[in-house]
A and B are shown apart, each in its own frame.
Chain A
Amino acid sequence: MAKRITIDPMTRIEGHLKIEVEIENGKVKNAWSSGTMARGFEALLLGKDPRDASYVTSRFCGVCFSVHQMASARALDAAFGARVPWGGTLLRNLVMGAEYIYDHLVHFYQLSALDYIDIMAVADYKGKDPELNKVKDKVVGLVKRGDTFPLTPRYKPDEFCVNDPDVVISAVKHYLDALNMQIKAKNMGVIFGGRAPHYQSIVVGGFTQLPDINQVARFRSMLDEVAAFVEEVYIPDVVAFGTGPLLPLARAGVGGGHRNYLSYGAFELNESGDKLVFKPGAIFGLVGTKPQRVEPFKPEKITESVRYSWYKKETPKHPYEGSQVFDLQRPEAYSFVKAPRYENVPMEVGPLARGLVDGDPTLLSLINNHGVRPGAVARHAARAIETKKVVEAMYQWCDELTRIMTKPGFRIHDTDHWDPPAESEGAGFFEPPRGALGHWIRIKNHKIANYQAVVPSTWNASPRDERGVRGQYEESLIGVPVPDPENPINVVRVIRSFDPCLACAVHLIDPKTNEIRRFMVE
């Protein structure tokens, strides 16, 4: 008899992502992923000046604000016929690069690492390293005060958790160091972005703020610090975990799912844009490192199904034609997330998809020479590998910016295309840290007539589609070992490996108690 368990909330904000799994004989037999909060911010844009879109969409999410701004600006570039000068592209890329470092470090250390270590092992550290003893005192101090959050994992450590005190204590030290590194990465974005969150500088046609030499120098010196951390701490940690206790999970490819991968491609390495850090493309049915089919990316192949979503029933539509009319009465529906499909097939997006589509040699060697199969552990590896790639590109962009910024005629914005066209449409594609992001805009009478965003977590967290085929989260959970239904730690590991972010919304403090009423100001 299968046993059904529900993990809700999966995200910190209640009701955003709910995972239900059916367990039989210690394994997941079936799974449902539900986004339980209505979205549809796009409706706010209708009738507005198209140039507002990049600001308004940056408020979709407190975490991934800048990437929405980027995708939106690119959709507007296309619709306005704007040609972003090379200087503007370089600045956009540098700001986005900083976002990659920030996001990937926070994901690995703050949001994931604690699923893989037994934090309480620090108490058994017997070494003499004064720094590590400070860490030990800090953690033990928290435990003694009964205040173990934020370090307490939700689930009991299992056989895949590291419990060697020396390894755990250095991992916790790196967790704390990473907090400082994410601050640096955030501040790098602010140097050119002007402010954070919600940068002001990425707009249709390019970038608004001319850089000066001091800014580039400051950016570069912070880049040196985070690059050293990536090289000397982040990558070795991922390697140590992946080739250590997690190797069985890595080789079993736990959390692999459909093994179809989509990347829109991103990050120009030259002015003509024909050299990219991540190449675009789609892979169908990967077996080992051999895809059954590889295709160039064609935007017209994207459709969204709402058969299992709380929207008015309609046939799958291309995002240009998409709408957000809720219908909560549909018995089949179980999610506010739509089901995007590429050629009617579910796709994984994100670091693993980018690495595979790009044919990254380090990633392919992990698969071919070390027996790692695409899945939860491979996702962490792909994230670390691409962080290094982006860091390297950021040095090139800094050099290139320094080379051109003092030349006469240096431009960062296409001012000739600032006014909205009377009628037009455009699509903007980008690869944020979490995966493929697309914005589509239709303009009529110089105003926004339709706007749609298909975000990375929509691809990964989608419910079943028109043909009843599971979404990527759902499929990736099938067969995942859950020996103890009270402790579904592997389910959480798989979902977290995607870096889910359905948090495009609420920020309300809800203490779940009326206690706060005591503090009412009369």
Chain B
Amino acid sequence: MLQGRREEVPDRGRKKILILGVGNLLLSDEGVGVHVAERMMEMELPPGVEVMEGGTDGFGLMHVILEADRLILVDAVKGGGPPGSVYRFDVEDCPTAPDVFKTSVHQISILEVIHLSGLIGSTPQTTIIGVEPKSTSMGMELSPEVEAEIPKVIRTVQEVVAASLDHFPENRVVSA
């Protein structure tokens, strides 16, 4: 239901691969996921692949996560590398902190939403493409360091998409 590329052809039981960019557009590099999603919306993508922009929504993203068979999440990630570093890891590799949830008064993190979705449905296999931010201060533009790495981020997303398609033979385009 979110903004994104829509499948034009009937899906023939295709698996849904969702590229979900999240972050806050008002906090410069914090919004990198949203910037990447917006650029990928302009690109040709294989059948069954959708791009969406999730802003900083938490619970509100649960339904799109549940509808996906494979999730590729693009977000700012503090991994300690130089600004613009690109990380790629599966959600199981990420030490989601239960401690963080315990102290939560209000919102919960996107990783927690992914875990929670497992309580009412099946959680898709999730890969996170992270980008090390330089600045998360107020501003609607990316820093030059992060901006320069956007092609690499997109390439990394595309590699994950390609690898996922190998696992989903039903998504192969059958020529007439």
Contact = CB atoms under 8 A, between A and B. Distances in A.
Contact of A196 (B1, B23, B103): B1
A278 interface: no
Interface residues of A, number: 68
Interface in B66-96: 66, 75-81, 85-89, 93-96
A492 to B, nearest CB: 7
Contacts, number: 208
Contact of A508 (B2, B89, B136): B136
B63 A186 contact: yes
Contacts of A513: 95
Given A186-B63, A509-B75, A521 B26 contact: no
B60 A196 contact: yes
A12 B59 contact: no
Contacts of A247: none
B24 A62 contact: yes
The A interface is mostly helix, strand or loop, or mixed, namely loop
B106 A501 contact: yes
Contacts of A501: 106-107
B19 interface: no
A153 interface: yes
Interface size class of B (residues with CB under 8 A): 35 or more
B54 interface: yes
A149 B89 contact: no
Contact of A61 (B30, B56, B96, B133): B56
Nearest to B149: A521
A199 to B, nearest CB: 10
A7 B102 CA distance: 12
A266 interface: no
Contact of A516 (B58, B59, B80): B80
B43 interface: no
A179 B119 contact: yes
Interface in A472-522: 492, 495-496, 499-503, 505-521
A294 interface: no
B119 A492 contact: no
Given A110-B59, A183-B62, A505-B27, A519 B22 contact: no
A512 B56 contact: no
Residue among B30, B104, B106, B139 with the most chain A CB within 10 A?
B106
Nearest to A152: B102
A40 B22 CA distance: 21
20 contacts: A12-B109, A41-B26, A44-B138, A59-B25, A62-B57, A63-B60, A149-B102, A152-B102, A153-B102, A176-B120, A179-B120, A186-B60, A190-B2, A507-B110, A508-B23, A508-B133, A509-B110, A509-B130, A517-B79, A518-B89
Interface of A: 7, 9-13, 17, 40-41, 43-44, 56, 59-63, 65, 102, 106, 110-111, 138, 147-150, 152-154, 176, 179-180, 182-183, 186-187, 190, 194-198, 492, 495-496, 499-503, 505-521
Interface of B: 1-3, 22-27, 30, 54-60, 62-63, 66, 75-81, 85-89, 93-98, 100-112, 115-116, 119-120, 128, 130, 133, 136, 138-140, 152, 156
